[in-house]
Structure 1
Amino acid sequence: MKNLIKNLLDERIKSTIRSSEVYQGLYNKMHSSKLAVAGKKLDICANEIAIYLLQADKEKYVLRDKICLEIGSGWLLTHSLVFYLLGAKKVYATDLDPLLQPENIFKAVSQSVSWSILDSLSTFEDREIVRFRLNKLLSLKKFSVEVLKDLGIEYIAPIDLSQKMPTEEKIDFIFSKSVLEHVPVEDVVRLLENLVNSLSEDGFMFHLIHLVDHRDSNEKPFDFFIYQQEAYSKELQSRWGNRIRRSQWQQIFLTSRIWTLNFYLSGHAMTENYQKKSTHLFNIQMKKI
């Protein structure tokens, strides 16, 4: 009990520090710079999207002239840039907090391997069109919210999609990665209802969800279960994960008028019981009933 109280007190102190503008500014710049040469490089994100589209048996031109929405677009918007490369007419890149660091976007683009992007995406769009759009990104050198808007990517943050959507027009494709687990439990159903209601007739969604405690996912993946429900606040749910299990997600989607196309784990097989070195990530591909 003493350790539990101490951990909560420590987290309140950390939360106060993290909420300061100075801390947020420094962290966002440093973190985005690291991501730009690692997991959020444009070629890595292009490979990811291509794999998800292949797994869902999507055909060529699946995003051409479509309206897309990314939930939790983060610091660099590289998944949204992939949708642009695939011919999207409009991309709404949204986030609960304004995290965007446009000065590091070019690094994420220029540090990527161009042929890898072309090979990944040419299954779903003409190679020369992808090449033309990629060359345009490489020619920009300096990105800004205005430059992104000229590309058809509208950055909207802060916005809470459980309260309102960024547009009244129907959306053809909705994407999130490692986002839904940060939505407080009491907001999840309302968020999904808004997403379902916004989908076009043939619209579809991909959501990748991490199931583990985000403080130390490798060594202590389920530590957040030591807290009683009343002590596990919305703030902690947003930071560490909302603790919704795979079977619970399944039930939530089934009751939200969503037909699940695929519901599987990415990487190593995993059950409700944690297996060390498994990815703790599952990918949901779905459309409206």
Structure 2
Amino acid sequence: MNWKLKGMLQRALSHLPYGSWMHFHLQRRFGGLRDFNREFDVKLSDWTIMLRRLGEAGFDISGKRLFEIGSGWYPTFPLACYLGGAARVTTVDLNRHMRPGLLRACAERLGENLSTLCAATGADEASVRARHSKLIEVLGHGGDLASATSGVIDYRAPADATRTGLEDGQIDCIFSNSVLEHVPLAVIGAMFAEARRILDTDGVMFHSVNCGDHYAYVDRSINQLNYLRFSDEQWNRWNNAFLYQNRLRAHVFIEQAEAAGFEILLNTAKASDLRLSQLASMPVHPQFSAIPAERLCITSIDFIARKSVNSEAAAGIIEDQNLNPGA
């Protein structure tokens, strides 16, 4: 499908009274939700990568209090964390996207991958299977996510990740998967400031960001750097509420985390030969000219950040900036 056509269609739907309903059904029939098993498998793979990276940083989700930004259509990450032994998983979304049918499909598909869950978490297989059995039973009788997980998963939507309402130090790990690329820059800063507040003393956050042009997944005539051809004004013709892309480069997310008082433990951002070649062969809008090619071409990043010992000093700087944005 031509990417410009998709962008204009989504932009038009975003202004219609039942646009969200129509967009969901178009996704089920023609979009990413058409092949549920394939999409689920990608998400589960991403979850196992997150667990591995957190493990390498010395963090184990067992018995921990987790917080997900961006619940999405179905809760792969929260359910996998619940089955793997997390004590609590709060998951929030700006809009209420989750669907009962997809929730049940997700739970059932997880049942086919319990060995993967056990391998990733080190959890006892008998305990994982017992939790999964109850999950399927309660969902099958029309129960909601909270009741099906004995209150472990708390789904909040609509909810604002910059104002969670949680007390200070209530969370051990905050995470997101392919979410931050859809959030305006100012909101990312506010999210990180709130993350620092609600994280416990040794708390960490993990974010996986796909900062490439998402239209390249539906239009094979373009690559993931295509949107760098346009100015902000030009890009707004195709940017829309259903697929908002901030076009921020990978290093910006690191800079925002550090400014909010975090120490970076992991940063996977790396320029590839393919992306450098693609960038060299295309025109780039002058507004990106100050960014070195080695940074501009990066289209994905995973990073882990820990509260810095100097985070309280950083807190005052961030709060001053929020109160006086022109300062």
TM-score normalised by the shorter chain: which range applies?
0.7 to 0.9
Quote the residue 1:27 is aligned against.
Answer: 23
Quote the residue 1:245 is aligned against.
Answer: 249
> Is the 1:211–1:243 contact (alpha carbons within 8 Å) kept by the matching residues of 2?
yes
Distance across 1 between alignment mates of 2:197 and 2:213: 30
Q: How does 1:128-207 map to 2 (within 5 A)?
A: 128-140=126-138, 141=140, 142-145=142-145, 147-148=147-148, 150-162=150-162, 164-169=163-168, 170-207=170-207
* Secondary structure at 2:160 match in 1: coil
Distance across 2 between alignment mates of 1:146 and 1:29: 26
* Secondary structure at 2:268 match in 1: strand
Residue 207 of structure 2 aligns with an amino acid whose one-letter code is H
Distance across 2 between alignment mates of 1:48 and 1:258: 23
> Is the 2:93–2:157 contact (alpha carbons within 8 Å) kept by the matching residues of 1?
yes
Q: How does 1:194-233 map to 2 (within 5 A)?
A: 194-217=194-217, 219-230=222-233, 232=235
Larger radius of gyration: 2
Of stretches 176-185 and 31-40 in structure 1, the one that deviates more from structure 2 is 31-40
Distance across 2 between alignment mates of 1:157 and 1:90: 17
Deviation per CA, 1:102-157, whole angstroms, max 9, x where unpaired?
A: 2221212223424433443342x233222221222232324535535744211111
Q: 1:30 to 1:82 in 2, by over 3 A?
A: farther
Quote the residue 1:39 is aligned against.
Answer: 39
> Is the 2:204–2:306 contact (alpha carbons within 8 Å) kept by the matching residues of 1?
yes
Distance across 1 between alignment mates of 2:298 and 2:52: 20
Deviation per CA, 1:42-61, whole angstroms, max 9, x where unpaired?
A: xx545433332223335999
Deviation per CA, 1:227-281, whole angstroms, max 9, x where unpaired?
A: 3235555993863421111222332222221111111059x946873659x9932
Q: Once the 2 structures are TM-superposed, how far is the Cα of residue 31 of structure 1 from its aligned partner?
A: 3.7
> Is the 1:214–1:240 contact (alpha carbons within 8 Å) kept by the matching residues of 2?
no
Q: Which runs of 5+ in 2 are unaligned?
A: 280-296, 309-327
Output the aligned Cα RMSD: 3.4
TM-score by length of 1: 0.79
Distance across 2 between alignment mates of 1:228 and 1:279: 19
Quote the residue 1:4 is aligned against.
Answer: none
Q: Once the 2 structures are TM-superposed, how far is the Cα of residue 184 of structure 1 from its aligned partner?
A: 0.8
Quote the residue 1:288 is aligned against.
Answer: 307
Q: 1:58 to 1:221 in 2, by over 3 A?
A: closer
Of stretches 136-145 and 197-206 in structure 1, the one that deviates more from structure 2 is 136-145
Distance across 1 between alignment mates of 2:237 and 2:187: 10
Structure 1 residue runs of 4 or more that deviate by more than 6 Å after TM superposition: none
Quote the residue 1:264 is aligned against.
Answer: 268
Distance across 2 between alignment mates of 1:236 and 1:227: 11
Deviation per CA, 1:86-115, whole angstroms, max 9, x where unpaired?
A: 222221111111101022212122234244
Quote the residue 2:120 is aligned against.
Answer: 121
Distance across 1 between alignment mates of 2:244 and 2:209: 13
Q: Once the 2 structures are TM-superposed, how far is the Cα of residue 183 of structure 1 from its aligned partner?
A: 0.8
Quote the residue 1:48 is aligned against.
Answer: 46
Return the match for 2:276 from 262, 268, 273: 273
Give the count of matched residue pairs. Answer: 276
> Is the 1:182–1:237 contact (alpha carbons within 8 Å) kept by the matching residues of 2?
no
Quote the residue 2:325 is aligned against.
Answer: none
Quote the residue 1:93 is aligned against.
Answer: 91
Q: 1:35 to 1:26 in 2, by over 3 A?
A: farther
Residue 73 of structure 1 aligns with an amino acid whose one-letter code is S
Residue 187 of structure 1 aligns with an amino acid whose one-letter code is V
Deviation per CA, 1:205-228, whole angstroms, max 9, x where unpaired?
A: 110101112222552323323332
